[in-house]
Amino acid sequence: MKKMKKLFAALFLVAVCAGAALAAPRTVKLVLLRHGQSVWNLEKRFTGWSDIRLTRLGVKQAFDAGMTMKEAGMNFDVVHTSLLDRAIATAWLAISAMDLRWIPVEKYWRLNERCYGDLEGKTHKEIEEAHGKEQMNVWRRSYGTPPPPLSYDDPRSPINDPAYYALDSRMIPQAESLKDVIDRVGPYWCDVLRPTLYKGENVLVVGHSTCLRALSSWIEPDLTEEQLMKLEIPNATPVVYTIEFEGANRKIVSREVMKVVDHPLPPPPPDVKKRDGAGKAPEAAEKPAAVTDAPKEKPAEVKEEPKEKPADKPAGIQEAVKEKAAEIKEKAADKAAEIKEKAADKAAGIAEKVLEKK
């Protein structure tokens, strides 16, 4: 009985300590990072749920964002990203630059960009010419007006993408407004992100322009519709929230948009050095490509030198060469005459023998 009492007392003490620990103030970092420039960003096309890759500039932007966060001394426990290639690639490039490749990367379809419906894949210029600039801006930046929806049999519809086969088709949008994306992101904030932050974990969320604006409305509930419509989140620019949790209360201590600095890319790994430069340093292997056109005149100069050398030889040597050639020619003529003479004598001897026999 005494042992049971001691056990219950120990359990009660553990529960009290755990409760006190949860109630104690905890400060965490939440960073929102939009993906680097994509191919359709460059072409000014509406992208949405279309799975478009980063440009070379987008890759560099993601790397620079990671290096900037690393130099600021930032650290993360987990990365959340969408199911779209441009966001996943940005996440990996950023954490690789930070030497955090070992941390978990979790993907959530609710972090996808807004579905632009029938605008997807079309350029801003095409939409402006077809519907007018004012209508295009309503579809792009308004709070509650979605663009024309895609039909379910349209090949651009996300319902035809294998990435979403496991998702109930009723959850897959055919067109969305900012308000629709706020509603879509809500369960992710309530069920995933907020509990993770509450546990004291620092989180990097890599997403897209509209979905990060929608998420901002959950992080900062005081933002108005007008502020959300005007909120800009540039490509590969970390937005850093410092959040304090105390019991059930949450307070935003600060919000900072980091200034991303350009960083040189790291050298290639050793196997690339061997493949490209046969063991030479990457600079040595790259130099011929950089100056390919420069040495084109040199072979012509080298070819001309042997032609000039015979003219530069002393006259005595040239005479000796000529005399030697004449001597060889004379000996060859004498030898030929001797052979011809012998052949004639032999033929005459044979003819005499034939006549004698007759």
Who contacts 251 (Cβ-Cβ below 8 Å, separation ≥6)? 243, 244
The answer to whether the CB of 80 falls within 8 A of the CB of 106 is yes
Burial annotation 37-56 (CB, 10 A radius, 16+ → b, else e)? bbebbeeebbbbbbebebbe
Q: Which of 65, 97, 92 is nearest to 79 (CA)?
A: 92
DSSP notation for 134-189: HHHHHHHH-SS-PPPPPPTTSTTSGGG-GGGTTS-GGGS-SS--HHHHHHHHHHHI
Residue 80 CA to residue 357 CA, distance in Å, equals 120
Residue 109 CA to residue 49 CA, distance in Å, equals 10
**Which helix H or strand E contains 257, and what residues bound it?**
strand 249-257
Q: Which of 118, 108, 121 is nearest to 139 (CA)?
A: 118
Residue type, 333: A
Residue 205 CA to residue 88 CA, distance in Å, equals 10
Residue 252 CA to residue 263 CA, distance in Å, equals 31
Residue 172 CA to residue 167 CA, distance in Å, equals 8
Angle between helices 209-219 and 178-188 (to 10 degrees): 60
Structure tokens at 134: 């004012």
Q: Which of 246, 184, 207, 282 is nearest to 30 (CA)?
A: 207
Q: Give the DSSP letter of residue 265.
A: P
Structure tokens at 240: 């850093």
The residues assigned a catalytic role are 35, 113
